[in-house]
Structure 1
Amino acid sequence: MIQIFRRFFSSKLGLAITLAFLGLIALAFASMDVSGNATFSGVSGGDRVAVVGDQKVGTADLANRTTSALDRLRQDDPTLSMKAFVEQGGLEEVLDQLISRYAVGNYAQEHGLRAGDNLVNSEILKISAFLGADGNFSQDAYRQVLAQQGLTDAMVRGDLRDSLLQQQMIDPAVSGVRLPTKIAKHYAALLRERRKGAIALVPSAAFAPKDDPTDEQLKAFYDENRARYIRPERRTIRYASFGIGSLDESVEPTEAEIAARFKRDASEYAAKETRTLTQLIVPTQDAANTLRDRIAAGASMETVAREAGFSTTSIGPVSQSDYEDSSSAAVAKSVFEAERGAIAAPARSGLGWHIVRIDKIDRTPAKTLAQVSGDIRTALLEEKRIAALADLSARVEEQIDEGAPMSEVAEQLGVKVSTTPALTADGRVYGQPGQGVPPELSGTVETAFQMREGEPQLAEVVRGQTFLIFEVGEITPSASAPLSDIKDQVIAAWRLSEGSRLAREAADRIIGRLGGDEPVATLAASVRQEEKPLPPAENVDLTREQLAAAQNGQVPAPLALLFSMAEGTSKRLEAPNDLGWFLVDLDEISVGELADDDPIVASAKRQLEATATQEYSDQLVAAMRDELGVERNDSAIQAVRKQLTGEN
């Protein structure tokens, strides 16, 4: 997981020293001070975790940025806890990035580089979150975003100023990095490199003790490996849903209400007539009369229009009022007085004289109250339900705001309060990965993991139909599982750990035989000489290209080791989770020839230049840190760690 975190802080130019400003805008949390009375460089240093040159790195800054980094990672893994993040080195990673950022800014200022207010203002104007409805910078939007994120104008400007100084210091130093094609060709040839060897596994299970550990042994092993058994935070959610059945009065429409609605919408139920038309517009009345006479004599309207240099337009179906809006009252009157198939008498609008053919007439008779009573009843019922539920939900929300307990509100509504099993932040039942929350709660889990106990909230599940009251029931913080709960699991892990120690000794014996006084010819033969039956060695014959293609870029650790060893050597590699030891024996390396114009050379050149750019950037930042001097305040760092993990 921490590798994901490290990749998050990398940019294409290798600016691993910066925590991006936009990330701060999106994820910053309100500042929190960490008190302490330790002394640091002769001064009370509880408010700083480090000093870079003469600039303090505050405890609040470190806490805020660590929280922001965790929030970014939680987008991919909602169950990741702060304790697990810190245990995996996240806090140290953030601190290192923060120190580097301060170093670059401080170094830039010492050497006369500046990022003035006008430059900072221009950067603020570019940030889309600060734009108003008209697309321009909005002071109100700026204040609102800062208030939502717990930021101040000074904090925003400080971050932008640092980012601008970093650009001035780093970009010129690492731009234009180029490597000779000869070097690129040398490394590109490695992609066509073929390696032959063998890989074997010495499993810990083959050497694991059968007996249980003593209580002292088990306790010591558990204490040393407590981080393995960290459980995510779990919460139960108490909830109750209500809808139309919770209303205390009927919302069925009365006959009087139906009649009133029919009267209100009388125009909707009146007789209607729409027409489909073909229209030609000319500039003068004489031209209109001449063309109309030709059409009336049997000529095609489209042909007449084309010969006169005009074109026709199809319209409709359209009512008289709508057609009048797009032409004029005179044109609409003439058109709607003509019969189907006729050419209406030319009339004038602001566009010119209209020659219109009536292609089709659709007439809808008026509807009576009896005919539309059912439709009106259905529409009124839906409206009254929505209004009544809105009033009810408003009353419920008012009760909640006034501090009424959820059980009391549910009792008044006549609904049952249910409680979920313990849930993790990704909406799954803890201990049952295949089981999730009820569908009506799917949108509330994220909110529930930000709430406090006993503070119910109201949510609309199905718009206008169903509402939900929910609150956090029991909160179980992220922590290592008690030994008593996972004793069998820890015993199994202890056995593998003990077996791993003995498996390592066996691995050393096997490798020793390959290069001893009486060397064994192959890894497979050496494995067979062990007293315990072990899995046989497997031969490997691959090129780097084949390896990458077969594994989709995810290369197993033993194969990665095989392709990084010297020819004729043998090494051992520990398998994860005490599963055993891999033995890797490399017999032969062969490299093919590459043409200068092989596309793989150009690709390798680009990759090497990017790597060189990153390396130059890292070296430059390291040099700045060395010149300015960095002092760490371990007691303050420990205080931040305890604050974030809840150990205070």
Structure 2
Amino acid sequence: MISSLRKRTGSFIVMLLMGLLIASFAIWGIGDVFRAGGADSLAVVGGSKITPAAFSREYQNELNRWQQQMGESFTPAQAKAMGMPRDVLQRMVNREVFDAAGRDLGLAVSDAQVRDYIRSNPAFRNSLGQFDRGLYANVLRYVGMSEAQFETAARADLTREQLLNALGLAAHLPDSLAERLYAYHGESRLIDVAAIRASAMQDIAPPDEAALMAYYKEHQDQFTAPEYRAISYLYLTAADLEGQAALSEQDILAYYDDHAAEYATAETRTLEQMVFSDQKAAAAAADAIRGGADFAAVAKEKAGLNADELALGERTQQQIADELGKDVAQAVFATPAGEVAGPAASSFGWHVVKVIAITPEVRRPLGEVRAEIEAKARRDKAIDLLYDATNKIEDELASGATLEEVAKNLGLSVAAIPAVDGNGLAPDGSVVPDLPKAGNFLRDAFAAEAGAEPILHEASNEAYYLLRVDTVTPPAVRPLNMVKAAVEAVWLATARDTRAKETAEAVKAALAAGKPLAEAVPAGAVVQTGIAARRLPSPDAQALTPEIRNAAFAAAVGKSATVRAADGDGYVVVHVLSAAAGDPAANAREFDEFKRGMASQYGNDVIQAYRLHLSRAFEVAFNQKLFDETVGRLSE
């Protein structure tokens, strides 16, 4: 239960490093305490303020995590629509109220506890399972935090955990309550079911002309053709222009040199490091090593680091620059193997780095990659030609050229679509072939006015299209003679469904009158008897659709219920034979699991109540106007 309670606090460290998706804060809603806050802060918790800058940092980290999970297509606008800004602010407020409560109670953690907490965090362990100081520095740099900031956050997490542990001890679910809850949720029922299939009602005669016409008139929306448009268009891609993209030997060599990194394995260096907050201390350590002292011994004496905490691993110069800055990278890559670099400064402090080994750059020869380079260089030239062509098209359109004139000047042909709806279908229901591979083509076509001058649209960085809407055919009811077969099919399906429902209700009435199921059902019904149904999911329970399970527990013993079949084909009559309450003694293992789940929910309720109490005690207040302005800027 404690693990569940901890998750509800929105632990900064866990969320930050492990990239967990943030659960909805439905049970900790923001609305219950949304009052006016300070003019310069988004929220105030007692004397603590949550500033727009602090919120922006945490919100951006949250957005980055989602984009790593969902891809770069996940936009700030989508994040705003799903309520992410509000959830992030609420999580920050939750931490503040618990931190304030911890301070009031005098809770504290030691430096040793903070150190152990950091060293045991899986996010900072290398492939050998050891704490890796280089990885630690890398992760903090990635999230934009200093060691001091992170350690402060870690201390707050641990203090918060003390409070939650105490709450967990208090959040005890009484056995008597657990047993009563299990009696309900663990209930099992024995049922009979009879499926009355609409598709089995084959004795219904087709409708006569009058019935067909009446149904057609009453349901004309079902037989209305959508809007269709006739479109002429020109689709131009870089691939179309590759034949015009001539390459010289100089072009190939230039591409090879310009993209050298793509065809080479960069030089790497295997490194160990120690980091100091003081430049003089770092210089003294470097001098001692250059004077012959052992790197590990100096690290132990002057930095308090064990040998297993020194490894920075194998890194390229760019990786070092990204992780520790250009100064450290340049110093390291200017140092021979076996020597030390530094002290060199980064945002983490002063680095003294030992170069253990050097793996030189290996470049693939031109002959090995020539075919690939020719293809890529030709594609790049074709893209340049495409760009030139689009500029020419824009000029021609500005001078009043028609779509056909533009196509002629480019040596291309205008394509035509006689009729297409907004879903890409022709009037006969088939998919219109060879539509341009541009996601917005149909949207643009249905947004344009008929006969309007064509507009150049970008499909991608390698494709453009011009389109003109020639005619628009508005939605219209299809004549009966064109849809007669479809109208008859729908009429028959409706009639069969009505007959199946009436039959199911008749079976239900017969059962209520005391008839056995075998006598109550008509021939052709699919009957199953003695089925065990349970409220709780169970691997031993028979597979039942949600509709049948719900009906089994909605009807009283000896009664019946009628539900639509899950596949839509007719109805199912559910007859309840008997019911048995959940028995903790008979299902001890399941009861234990159920009790743990209920205890977790019970603990969450305790957290909810305590959080609300703290919100009022510390007078939590929010600045809605500033929040909206801040979110608006972040969502642009």
Shorter-chain TM range is 0.3 to 0.5
Alignment TM-score, normalising by the size of structure 1: 0.44
Give the greater-gyration-radius structure (CA). 1
